[in-house]
Amino acid sequence: MDLFDSCLFDNDTPNLAQIINSTNAGIWEFDANTKNVKWSIGFYRILGYEPGEIECSYLNFIDNLLYHEDRAFFLQIINNRTAKHLEIVHIRLLTRDGYEWFQSSTQRQADAKITGTIININHFKFSELQLATNNTFVVETNKLVKLGGWEIDVASRKLFFNNGALDIFELQQQPNTIDELICFFEPEHKPLLTTAIEDCIRIGRPYDLDLKLKTGKGHIIWVKIKAVANIDNYGKCVLIKGIVQDIDLAKQNENKLKSSLNIVNHKNERLQNFAYIVAHNLRSYVGNLQLMLNLHEESEDLKDQQEILSHVKSISTSLTDTIEHLNEIVKIDSEKNQEKTLIELDLLFKNIVNALQSNIQSAQAVINYDFSRCRYVDYLPAYLESIFHNLLTNALKYRDPNRQVVISCKSITENDHVYIIVEDNGLGIDMELYGDKIFGMYQTFHDNHDSQGIGLYITRNQVEALGGTITVESELNIGTKFIIKLL
């Protein structure tokens, strides 16, 4: 008596068992109450195993054989006790050679038992998926411009470009290997493409990526690279067919849109700060002044009147400072369209250092600077003077009294952008606590009596008004670094 006879059929039906065991199908039975499972010999063999070679159990099937993405709907069918009709689904099962597609037919019996069959449809499924991918490929190709095709022979790992792909890559000769293809892409994108190609070869996974590459003529462009796998009768990838499309203009427009949105957001933030000062601070000053004047009128004591007048003077001074701050902020947008001039960074920085000489000597600070990597920059002199002045003043103001003050400033160029880096070894800022407030108006983070919280706000507005950015890195009791992208 064989395994099939003992599991599913009575001893009276050995001929039927023999016929079913000889087909390319697997028969199974599951008891929903006891969770007991029985498999036919064909069930084992259709997965590439001999009877008894793998554990015949509910947990082994669900946890190890059934592909994880197919578990939810398969379990839904098994656990649906009200279903009476035949259920047919496509699932992936782990065979000896890897995951393959199977058609599973399930029928619930009256005694809480469920019987079913599995049939291997792997070749059919891959053909179906490939046809769908090819149809999509044809439709999209008709819509695209600057489109090229390429292929990889998996056995030899040889690469072929058609003329369209050669034009996009700006090449005269064919690249020969996968490694040569990957070398054209920017460092941050090479791992993405490498993984995508290897997954396509290993498990036939198609991919669609937007990546940046450097052409044969040195131009940096964005491309869309898509590929599908050609599968042989054994489910193995033998050929990768792909397209490459120049999407650089679309990406540039997308980045411009993002940049515009950032500018709008920053302007909106500045307007909110401006409105807050006008609505809150000025109203507060006016209210305090009115209160002091009322007290002055009501008071008959000369000493009290003098004290009240001193308060009025203090409020008036603060009001004047606030109005000057508002004027400086308004001037930023009005002055940004002035003509830029070629500025010698070394000379301008020395002038700022000379102007702050008394502050530097009082703090016994050491100022180091190196503009050798970028000596000149086209910029608004008034803005650059203000930026240097504010950052140096801050570094001196928030110095650590327990160590020698060292402030360093340098220029660098990277990817056609000019950067100014100002670094100190001062008190530092708690970035977790104040990281999102550093460039806010009237934000202070230390107990200096002369801190107003306006310098960094103005500096950021000046930098961003000319299309640059400013970021900060800081650590308490270590120091602070400002990184300014001027252009």
Query: How is residue 352 written in tokens?
Result: 């700022």
Return the DSSP state at 279: I
Backbone angles phi, psi at 394, to 5 degrees: -60, -45
Q: Do domains 250-334 and 336-487 have the same CATH topology?
A: no
Residues near 95 by Cβ (< 8 Å), separated by ≥ 6? Answer: 47, 48
Query: How is residue 443 written in tokens?
Result: 């934000």
Residue the block writes with tokens 């307007």: 271
CATH number, domain 336-487: 3.30.565.10
**Fold held by 250-334:** Helix Hairpins (1.10.287)
Alpha-carbon gap, residue 303 to 86, rounded angstroms: 101
CATH H-level superfamily of 3-120: PAS domain (3.30.450.20)
pTM for the full predicted model:
0.40
- Taking domain 125-246, whether its CATH number is 3.90.1150.170 is answered by no
Q: What average pLDDT is seen over the chain?
A: 80
Q: What is the mean pLDDT of each run of 10 residues along the chain (487 residues)?
A: 40 51 74 87 89 90 91 86 78 90 84 84 78 61 67 90 89 89 92 92 89 91 90 86 86 74 65 55 64 74 75 72 62 63 89 83 90 89 82 87 92 90 89 74 55 71 83 89 88
Nearest to 7 by CA among 28, 24, 26, 22: 28
List pLDDT tens digits, range 150-196: 999 998 889 999 888 898 899 988 888 888 999 999 999 999 999 99
The pLDDT value recorded for residue 78 is 83
The pLDDT value recorded for residue 421 is 94
Q: Where are the alpha helices (DSSP H) in 80-187?
A: 122-143, 163-169, 178-183
Amino acid at 464: E
Nearest to 155 by CA among 97, 243, 236: 236
Contact 483, 421 (CB under 8 A): yes
Going from N- to C-terminal start, the domains of the chain cover 3-120, 125-246, 250-334, 336-487
Strands (E), 52-178: 87-95, 98-108, 113-120, 147-153, 158-161
The pLDDT value recorded for residue 239 is 92
List pLDDT tens digits, range 360-410: 888 899 999 999 999 999 888 878 888 888 888 888 888 888 899 999 999
List pLDDT tens digits, range 269-308: 656 655 555 554 566 566 667 777 777 777 767 777 777 7
